[in-house]
């Protein structure tokens, strides 16, 4: 494999890892409490997000919840000493990428990953998810089963709005939620506990009012 092909593959892989960590940890575990992660998995998720996105977990959850903020997620020593310093995380992540792939390959792969994560995947989830697609339930969001495969299940937005505490975003046989597979695998080895009830088509499907 030539170095030319390493760059797009690395960029896509990084974007997928970042969106999986965002969906499973920031969204399902912290924002909606549908899963509880083991301390070891908690540290891993935080490290991955720090290196690939530089995001502060409390800020992400507060923005997602709007007026309810994130008072239940307390800042700890690791937040204060390490994970609140997002720019350092991104710089370290870029440095590691350059050491593995080479200087220019690492810089390009990291830049493409950032574009994919911020300007492609996020708009697909939040923009298209409130504009067009399929609906299983009566609310203002839409599903895109095709895009769900590359957004860690997040594009099953209509399902999530109807059942915000469900750890599983798919409800029909043709809907695929990649995060749910990883959640079940981590639960099987004791790194995660599923606390929410997986959504089904049975029920009123009324809008929940919760993002």
Whether the full predicted model's pTM is greater than 0.85, yes or no, is yes
Q: Are 50 and 89 in contact (CB under 8 A)?
A: yes
Residue 146: exposed, middle, or buried by beta-carbon count in 10 A (0-12, 13-18, 19+)?
Answer: exposed
Kindly report the backbone phi and psi dihedral angles of residue 193, in degrees, each rounded to the nearest multiple of 5, phi listed first. -120, 130
Helix (H) / strand (E) containing 207: none
- Please give the Cα distance from 175 to 153 (Å, whole number): 9
- pLDDT per residue rounded down to tens, the chain (211 residues): 447 789 999 999 999 999 999 999 999 999 999 999 999 999 999 999 999 999 999 999 999 888 678 889 989 999 999 999 999 999 999 999 999 999 999 999 999 999 999 999 998 898 888 899 999 999 999 999 999 999 999 999 999 999 999 999 999 999 999 999 999 999 999 999 999 999 998 754 444 444 4
Residue with tokens 């067009």: 132
Strand partners, 193: 36
Q: Are 152 and 179 in contact (CB under 8 A)?
A: yes
């Amino acid at each position: 494999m030539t170095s030319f092909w390493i760059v797009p593959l690395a960029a896509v892989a990084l974007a997928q890892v970042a969106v999986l960590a965002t969906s499973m940890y920031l969204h399902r575990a912290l924002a909606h409490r549908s899963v509880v992660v083991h301390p070891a998995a908690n540290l891993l998720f935080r490290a991955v997000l720090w290196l690939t996105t530089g995001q502060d977990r409390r800020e992400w959850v507060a923005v997602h919840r709007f007026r309810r903020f994130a008072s239940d997620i307390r800042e700890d020593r690791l937040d204060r000493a390490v994970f609140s310093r997002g720019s350092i995380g991104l710089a370290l992540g870029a440095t590691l990428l350059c050491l593995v792939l080479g200087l220019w390959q690492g810089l390009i792969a990291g830049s493409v990953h950032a574009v994919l994560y911020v300007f492609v995947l996020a708009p697909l989830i939040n923009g298209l998810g409130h504009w067009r697609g399929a609906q299983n339930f009566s609310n203002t969001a839409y599903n895109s089963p095709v895009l769900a495969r590359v957004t860690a299940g997040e594009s099953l937005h209509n399902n999530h709005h109807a059942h915000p505490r469900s750890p599983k975003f798919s409800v029909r046989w043709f809907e695929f939620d990649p995060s749910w597979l990883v959640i079940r695998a981590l639960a099987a080895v004791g790194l995660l506990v599923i606390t929410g009830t997986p959504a089904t088509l049975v029920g009123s499907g009324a809008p929940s009012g919760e993002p």
